[in-house]
Every structure is written in C-alpha cells, then in structure tokens.
Amino acid sequence: MLTFECKMGSGQWHVERRSTLRNDSFVKESGSAPETGCLSIAVLGASGDLAKKKTFPALFNLFRQGFLNPDEVHIFGYARTKLSDEELRDRIRGYLVDQKNAEQAEALSKFLHLIKYVSGPYDSEEGFQRLDRAISEHEISKNSSEGSSRRLFYLALPPSVYPSVCKMIKTCCMNKCTDLGGWTRIVVEKPFGKDLESAEQLSSQIGELFDESQIYRIDHYLGKELVQNMLVLRFANRFFLPLWNRDNIENVQIVFREDFGTEGRGGYFDEYGIIRDIIQNHLLQASVSEIIFMTTEPSIKVLCLVAMEKPISLKPEHIRDEKVKVLQSVVPITDEEVVLGQYEGYRDDPTVPDDSNTPTFATTILRIHNERWEGVPFILKAGKALNSRKAEIRIQFKDVPGDIFRCTKQGRNEFVIRLQPSEAMYMKLTVKQPGLEMQTVQSELDLSYGQRYQGVSIPEAYERLILDTIKGDQQHFVRRDELKVAWEIFTPLLHRIDKGEVKSIPYEPGSRGPKEADQLLEKAGYLQTHGYIWIPPTL
C-alpha cells in the first residue's frame, strides 16, 4: 500500500491509503522469476563487523517481512573464531531488533533458531567440508530434492581471502545438481581490488571458478531507494527528458558526507582511502553481475545512473551495457581537478602510520566526452569527519537567459535527490515572494518521502540486494566490465596519490573539508545559493 495526501478545506493534510500501482511488465522485463526450494545462506566472516551490523540485520528484516520462509531457509555462519551456535546468536542479537518491541521479539527468537555456526579456516578443505555437511543435513531435513536446493555464499570477509574461499566453495560446497532450478551463488563485498591490475587479477581468479552469472558484486548504494528510483525518474517523466543535457545543466554534484571518522577501521581505511572506499565504486557505477559482488562504492555507480542513455529495455544486461558506455566516455582526471584532504587526528589511530597521506576527503571532477555531457562537470565529493552526514545528487541548471527579474544572484534552479538521511527530492526554484511587492525568492517543490509515504517503510539497501541475489536479479550488481572501466578511470590518479605526488590537505574535523575544495567547485562553475537552506519537513 502507498499513502497519498490531499489537502482538506481545513488546511489539514489527509492521508489516504491506496493500493500500490504496480507495473507487472517491469517485473517481467527485469527478468526475475519466482524461485522456491530449500535455501541455505552461508555468511562467511560471520564473526565480523559487516556481518553483525548489516548482513544479519538485513536477513532478519527479510525474515520478518516473510521473504525468507522458515520452512525453506537455514542460515549458516562461518569463520575461524571458535563460537557455539548460541554465542553467535548472542553476538548479533543486539543488532537485529529493538529489544522492547514485543512483536519483533517473537520473530527474533524464530529467526535466531534458523542460525547455525561452523568454525573453520578459509584455506583448508576440512572446514568447508563440515560446512557442506551442515548444509546437506539441512537440505535433507527439509526433504529437498538435490536439484532444487539453492546455496548462497555471502563473503563478509577481507578481499585478500576471496580467492581461497571461492576455491573452497567450488571444491567442497557446490549445490550438487541444478536440474530442478537449484543454484550456487557468491556475493562479494567491496573493495574489489586496489587498482586496475589487482581487480583484474581477482576477477580472473574468481572467474576461473564461477560463471559471471553466479557472481554478485555488491555496491550497497545501488540498493538505496532513491538510487533505484533514478531510472524511473529520468525515463518515465516528460519533465526531465528534454532538460537532461548540456544545453540546460550547468553542473552535477554527487556528494557523500559523514560526520564521523574511520572509527576503529583505520587499518583497513589507510590501505584504501576515500577514493577506493567511496568514490570509485558507490558514487561512480551503478551495477555489475551473478558472482554477487557486494561493493559499497556509491559515487561511480550513482554517476552512471545520472549520465547514462536510455537502455533499450529494463533487462539487467541492457541497463548495464549503458552504464559501461558512459564510463568509457569519461576522460582522464587531471590533478588540477582534484582536492584531497585528511582530517586532523586521523593519524592518532595506532593502526595508521604517522606519515600517512591517505585521503579521508576528496573532491574530483569527471568529464564525460559525449554529445549529451560535453562541458558539464560531474563533481564527486566524499569525506569523513565532516560537519554533516548526507548523500545527495545535485543537478544545477544554467541561468535563465534574458532574466528580467535579475534574480540569478539568489540562486539557480537545482534538482536535488537526497539519498540519505530523510530521503527526498526537491526542486529549488524562484517564485514571487508572497505579498504586495513584486519580489522574487528561492523556494522549493518538495517530495519528502517521510511525509509523502507515511507508514511505508523504506527497505535497507542490503535487504533489497540480498533479496535480489535470491531472486537471481543482477541488475543492481556490478558486472566485471563495469568494474574494469571504473578502475581504469581512477587507477592513474590513485597511483599518483600512493606515490605521494598528490598531497592531502589537513582539515579540521567537523568542518566542510579543505577550503580548496570549495574553490575548485566555484572554478568548475558551481554557484552556491546563499541565504537559503532546505529543511526536511517534519510531520
């Protein structure tokens, strides 16, 4: 159900519930078919941070909402740490649910009973044979015929162990036959490699073991509600079609900000930095293939969805083809269009070297050499320990030609897609200031989800993507060629940073980042609206 609002005579908002307007042709086109049969989900690295904070909570939410049928599903945790089933359950319990919610408490207890833990190393057959036996016992207990059972392996592990783990799965844990629709799929987290060469090497190692259709490279930004809305927004609305090009758009910004630092992940982060952690993946691309690579790199993925041409259909391969094309049109990044920063205090983490140049902030401009986007800067900005937490896409339009109101100084039209928090889309526009005088003022047309879709819970990105992997829908995952082009764009810059040729400028935690980044934006043509700020409406 969706909620719709209408303004009543009293000036009160009345919230009306109507059935969701579902377009079944979309479901058919996207190629996912319903599947049934025994489902075993193995979370490898179950003792870790991602597993407890994201993977198990997403599985629990799917279970609670009826997407994981207790008559078919079993969940296995696997890691080296020695734990009993009960100890694993105790570790994750607090992350799954609001303990005071009685309704959820009952579901929680049922969910936890579906979880079994197997301990073993990542590079020896013995542990994986035990995992296979545990899975087989479950399949037998459910009377599942061999050919229909489904096995999903979620690698919540550091990428360094992906090759050996994939080899062990292939040797010991594959679904024995697939003649009744059964399958084995692998979900892989980001970062998938450190540069073009290492990513390609990893792709080849895994590619020798699994078909692309079995690999799901996750980028959880592709699972965010408003990222998923991009195609609909762009291609189902007459408003946008004629405007979405270099004739009307001055610049595009894709921004990721966090108001906290690396918080205990300093060792990992220092090896990768903000470009590999956020920009090269989340902000840039928007999907790659059936080993499921769960990557969390939002910038590149988001850029693809903003800049790509209309796909010939909604089939995952058609969408991913368009994404690859737009990435292939990105020209090499120049050092003049990059500002790096590192927050003061970052090196206090004992796992970070005292002389680290690793950026915790970066603004970089990408230029797309094609008919639609020539001359339009795509500004990708990501930073940790800044003054706010948000992720958004900001499309700034050109000034109105022959402006009789002389209002350009107040601000340009902007279309903003707020991915998080407080999901929203709003259009900043100039209107007449209400009153007797003819004065203009900045205002907005606002679609705030919290207000517009009251009572509709927006799924977590991981929930949606795990469900897609179960359904076999690869649309929102990263295909190998997409990953390759994404690395091609950033590898030369990353190598220059690694060699210390591009320096990170210190910035104060809780600030906007280095002032040089704002100067770069201004140079690129971004005009900030002064004296106006959008405030998410409260109910």
Ligand X SMILES: NC(=O)C1=CN([C@@H]2O[C@H](COP(=O)(O)OP(=O)(O)OC[C@H]3O[C@@H](n4cnc5c(N)ncnc54)[C@H](OP(=O)(O)O)[C@@H]3O)[C@@H](O)[C@H]2O)C=CC1
CB of 272 to ligand X, least distance (A): 8
The structure tokens listed for 433 are: 């200031």
Q: Which is nearer to ligand X, 81 or 370 (CB)?
A: 81
3-state secondary structure 3-40: EEEEECCCCCEEEEEECCCCCHHHHHHCCCCCCCCCEE
Which region, judged by CB under 6 A, interacts with ligand X, from 31-39, 43-51, 307-315, 359-367?
A: 43-51
Nearest-approach distance from CB 156 to ligand X, in angstroms? 5
CB of 329 to ligand X, least distance (A): 28
Q: Name the residue nearer to ligand X (CB basis): 159 or 316.
A: 159
| Residue 47 contact, options ligand X, ligand LXAUTJHC, none, Cβ 5-8 Å cut-off depending on partner type | ligand X
Could you give the maximum distance between any two Cα atoms of the chain, in Å? 82
As measured in angstroms, the least distance from the Cβ of 515 to ligand LXAUTJHC is: 24
Q: Quote the least distance from Cβ 428 to ligand LXAUTJHC, whole Å.
A: 24
Q: Does 45 bind ligand X (CB under 6 A)?
A: yes
Q: Which of 26, 13, 18, 32 is nearest to 290 (CA)?
A: 32
**Token digits of residue 62:** 């799917």
> Is the Cβ–Cβ distance between 262 and 360 less than 8 Å?
yes
Name the one residue in this structure whose structure tokens are 């997407």.
Answer: 67
Tokens of 20: 């969701």
Query: 468 contacts which partner out of ligand X, ligand LXAUTJHC, none, CB within 5 to 8 A by kind?
Result: none
Whether 147 contacts 178, CB under 8 Å:
yes
As a whole number of angstroms, the distance between CA 440 and CA 53 comes to 48
369 is catalytic: no
The reply on whether position 58 binds ligand X by CB under 6 A is no
The nearer residue to ligand X, 2 or 352, going by C-beta atoms, is 352
Q: Is 189 in the site for ligand X (CB under 6 A)?
A: yes
Closest approach of ligand LXAUTJHC to the CB of residue 281, in Å: 8
Residue 133 beta carbon to ligand X: minimum distance, rounded to whole angstroms: 19
Which of ligand LXAUTJHC, ligand X, none does residue 108 bind (CB under 5 to 8 Å by kind)? none
Least distance to ligand X, CB of residue 206, Å: 14
Choosing from 30, 61, 149, 296, the residue that interacts with ligand X (CB under 6 A) is 296
Locate 478 and state its tokens.
């990263």
CB of 220 to ligand LXAUTJHC, least distance (A): 6
Q: Report residue 241: phi and psi, to 5°.
A: -50, -50
User: Closest CB to ligand X among 48 and 207?
Assistant: 48
Is residue 339 a contact residue for ligand X (CB under 6 A)? no
**Beta-strand (E) ranges in 258-368?**
283-284, 291-295, 338-343, 361-367
**Structure tokens, 261:** 């630092």
Q: Which is nearer to ligand LXAUTJHC, 290 or 392 (CB)?
A: 392
Nearer to ligand LXAUTJHC, 88 or 305 (CB): 305
Nearest to 165 by CA among 3, 291, 286: 291
H helix intervals, 210-276: 225-228, 230-235, 266-274
Contact footprint for ligand LXAUTJHC (CB under 6 A): 220, 258, 277, 296, 391
Which residue has the closest beta carbon to ligand LXAUTJHC?
296
**Tokens representing 166?**
């994939």
Restricting to residues 147-166, which ones interact with ligand X according to CB under 6 A?
156-161
Give residues 59-78 in contact with ligand X (rule: CB under 6 A): none
For residue 372, give the nearest of 318, 432, 424, 308 by alpha carbon. Answer: 308
Give the footprint of ligand X on residues 75-94 (CB under 6 A): 79-81
**By CB neighbour count within 10 A (0-12 exposed, 13-18 middle, 19+ buried), where does 269 fall?**
buried
Size of the site for ligand X (CB under 6 A): 21
Nearest CB to ligand LXAUTJHC, comparing residues 127 and 223: 223
Q: Does 391 bind ligand X (CB under 6 A)?
A: no
Query: Please, which residues bridge with residue 44 across strands?
Result: 78, 155
User: What is the enclosing helix (H) or strand (E) of 132?
Assistant: helix 125-141
The amino acid that residue 69 corresponds to is N
For ligand X, the closer CB: 80 or 389: 80
- Overall size of the chain counted in residues: 539
Which segment (189-197, 232-240, 245-253, 430-438) binds ligand X by CB under 6 A? 189-197
The DSSP letter of residue 459 is P
Q: Residue 74, SS3?
A: strand
* Cβ atoms of 255 and 274 closer than 8 Å: no
Residue 212 contacts by C-beta under 8 Å, 6 or more apart in sequence?
289, 290, 291, 479, 480
Judge whether 216 and 474 are in contact, CB under 8 Å: yes
Question: Could you say which of 30, 47, 251, 430 contacts ligand X (CB under 6 A)?
Answer: 47
What CA–CA distance (Å, rounded) separates 344 from 389?
Answer: 18
Question: Near ligand X by CB under 6 A, which window of 8-16, 49-57, 455-463, 530-538?
Answer: 49-57
Which listed residue (220, 282, 369, 476) is catalytic?
282
Residues lying near ligand X in the complex (CB under 6 A) are found at 45, 47-51, 53, 79-81, 122, 156-161, 189-191, 296
Which residues are marked as active site? 282
